[in-house]
Structures are given as structure tokens and as C-alpha cells.
Amino acid sequence: MERQQEAWSGRTVFILAAIGSAVGLGNIWRFPYVAYTNGGGAFFVPYLVALLTAGIPLLFLDYSLGHKFRGSPPLVFRRLHKRAEIIGWWQVGISFVIGVYYAVIVAWAIRYFFFSFNEAWGSDPATFFVNDFLKQDDDATFALGFVPGVAFPLLAVWVLTLAVLVFGVQKGIGATARVFVPLLIVLFGVLVVRSLFLDGAGAGLDAFFQPNWSILTDPTVWIAAYGQIFFSLSVAFGIMLTYSSYLGRKTNLTGSGLVVAFSNSSFEILAGIGVFATLGYMANISGVAVDEVVESGIGLAFVAFPAIISSMPGGALFGVLFFGALVIAGFTSMVSIIQVCVAAVEDKLGIDRIHAVLGVGGVSAVISLLLFPTVTGLNVLDVVDNFANNIGIVGVALVAIAVVAWALRRLPDLENHLNSVSSFKLGIAWRLFVGVVTPAVLAFMLITEIVERIQDGYGGLPSGLVVTFGWGAQILVIVVAVLLSFTPWRRTEVELEHSEPTKAGENL
């Protein structure tokens, strides 16, 4: 008998879990900077176009695949076609790589949550972060010098993540999402309200929303918009496909997708308001223009914001709110990333959840603890992150769409499946967006990134580091995906071909 598929207890839990996955660290520290540097208020035009023509259509594609074929990415793609299984393992491999380093950033946020109480970073947050906290060695290309201050919170992140996953889809992931997603919204809402009352907040918001309409003729702005949407919705590397496989037969898929997509974008805009109101305050007290204090990514979170926190009245509370929000946003995304790997191992080997979680989690945690709480961990993380997102995810998305839409010609079938259970009906526009517009944009992004990385390397870092942890990691993922696709399944051929939903969680 086929192993029973786990199920969400209701559509609301699924939506909360999907939002928890989509709303991650990038929403807070990447979107505001991308919008600001690509036309400010004018950026919302290509952003909305990208959301409607790529983000939501790809989300619907993931939902249709997971819901119709009921399984982890390898099983879903195998049910599409036996030779397509490799695509599923490629997605799992990318999730594995991302999970290994994503946990480290959550661990940093946990430490900074506690640092906020006494503003432990002192008067020089940049030096504190790189030298005192991470203890980075500028002279070393790669070294395994142990950094306990990072290793112990990282270990805690892995223990907590695996504890949630052991309890399963509903009692673990679902229960966590029901608590953490509303809590994240409340925490970040309070933080945004506080930031709006800071001196200079208006100047920051003017900088964020002031439109530069002339920039809309620049193709790179449109590519930036598609890139932001693509990376922020957790599409194309197995998460939404896996989550949708736990839904019942008659779940409204497109309605749920619209809620998730617009909730994610709303949070990004809210993050932009909070971040730029705060940066406006920083510019005001420093006596400089807003553009002189704007940062993105790790520098914004762990250098710029600590400096701002130290300078504002009641800064400790602001820091607790900010880093608390980072921890929650990162943790809910972390759980979803590792769940992709766990589900794949469960399906392939036919083992129970506890053994799958401990096996996948154990290997992930060991690699994570070996590579990143080290004196060269920051550079390794930077390289792995760039290649996983800009080459790994984009590459597998392009191949998956090419196989599903062009080689197997399954878009009409998937469209009918979505329409059979959903309130918002799809038509030829969806097929054009998925089969033509999205792959064209992805192909341009992938080719541009590959050419740039070959010509210029990455970030001025040593070529050995880039080759090993950038190109090497992505090639290894593909090689392992090929090997795993030839590994025998523990299920019978009848079970592998079965694609109908089980009755568990039906009629949600």
C-alpha cells in the first residue's frame, strides 16, 4: 500500500505556512534597496508587471504540479516522466545548499537579538561584526578556525528546525506557522510604526518612493524587478510544490496563490517603509543625504541597523523588535527549505519521518557547522549564496519550465487541473506567461550571470574560493541529482505512477 501522504488541517494553515516560507530575510534587507536603486516609486510599475506575469504564474505552476502529482519534487517529476526525476533532485539539492548556509544567518540574528539589550556592538558596529563577532581572517582564503560565538547558536537553530520537522506537516510546520507568522506581522508592524515617528523619517520615505520615471526605459530595471519577484516567492526550487502536495482534492489553489503572492509583496512594501524611515533618521543625525547611508543585505542588518539603534532613543527595544523579526522570518523560511529535502528522502527510501529528518538534518547540520562558524565563513557564505540563487535556482527553473511546457507539453493539462478546483480561472495568458515570458527572462538572467561570473569572478574574492564553493557546489548538486535519479525507489511501480490525492486532508 502506498505510504499515506501527510496533510494540512485546513487551507488557512497552508496559506500561513506558504507566507512564512515566502517572507524571509530577503524581503526585509533586499527589496528596499532594489526598489530604491531602480527608480524608487517608479520601480513599482515593473515590480507589479513581474508579479503578474512571472511570480504568480510560477506559483500556480508549482501548486498545480504538487497538488496533481502528490509528492516531493523527485516523485512529482518522475510522475510527469521517468527521465524528468533528475529535475526534482536538482531542486532538492539547491534547497539543501541554501538550508546549509541560511541557518547561519538565522544564528547571527539570534545573537544580535540578545546583543540589542545592551548594544554590545559598541561604537563601531562594522568592526564588531567582522572582527569581534565573526572573527574573520582577512589573510586566509579558506580556513576551518572555529568561532564558538557563531557555532553554538547555529547548533541551536538546527536543533529547533529539526524538532519542528519531526512533528510533521501539521503538528510541526503548520503549528509553527500559526504562531510565528502572525507574531512576525505584529513585531514588524510595531517596528514600522516606531520608525515613522523618528526625526528624518519623512526624508527617508521621500527617497524610497520618489519616482524616477525615466529609468523605466532601462532593461536592467525590469530584470531587477523580475529577479526580486522570482527570489522572494520561494518558487521553482521545490518549496511550494512540496507544500501544495499536502492539500486536499478540492482546495482553491489559485485563490490561495493570490493570497500568498500579494501578502508577500505587501510585506516587502512594509519592509521598505520601515527600513527607509529608519535610514532617513540615520541620515538626519549624520547630516548627510539618504543615499549616503543606504545599504543592502548583511551590511544593512548587522552594521547599519546596529549603528542606528545605538543612536536613537529607546534603541534597545527597536533592536529587539528588528532582530526578533529577522529571526522569525528566517526560521519559518528555514523550516520550509529543509522540508523539501526531508520529503524527498521519505518518498525515495520509504522511511518514516523521524529517520528522514534525523538523516537529512544530521548531514546538513554537520556541513553547516564545519564550513560557516569559521574564520572564513563570511566569504564562503557570500559565494555559496550568490551562486545558489543567481545560477542554481534560475537554472533549474529554466530547465523545469522547458521540460514541462515545451518537451512534455503539460501546461494545458495543469491549467485544467487548476481550473477544476479553483475560483480564479486561468486561460491562454497563463500558458504564455509560463511558457514564453518567464523562460525568456530567466534565460537572460542566467546567461548574464554566468558570463559576468566567468569574466569578473565574484566580489574580488580569491578564484579558488569562487571555483570551489561557487561553480563546484553547483556542479556537485547536478552530479548528485543524476546519481540519485538512478537510485532504485523503495515503492512499487504502481505506487510511483499513482498521482491521485489521498483522502487525508480532503475537502479543506
Residue 391 CB partners (closer than 8 Å, separation 6+): 446, 449, 450, 453, 470, 474
Sign of CA dihedral 127, 133, 135, 136: negative
In the block, which residue shows the cell 512529482? Answer: 76
pLDDT of residue 502: 41
pLDDT of residue 498: 62
Q: What pLDDT digit, counting tens, does each position of 287-303 carry?
A: 999 989 988 889 999 99
pLDDT of residue 231: 86
pLDDT of residue 493: 66
pTM of the model: 0.94
Intervals of the chain under pLDDT 70: 1-4, 492-494, 498-508
Considering only CA atoms, which of 122, 154, 57, 167 is closest in space to residue 418? 57
Q: Which residues pair with 146 in a beta bridge?
A: 374
In the block, which residue shows the cell 555559496? Answer: 384
Considering only CA atoms, which of 11, 508, 12, 21 is closest in space to residue 261? 21
Please say whether the beta carbons of 310 and 115 come within 8 A. Answer: no
Any idea how long the chain is? 508
10 Å CB burial of residue 199 (0-12, 13-18, 19+) is: exposed
Q: Does domain 11-490 have CATH number 3.40.50.300?
A: no
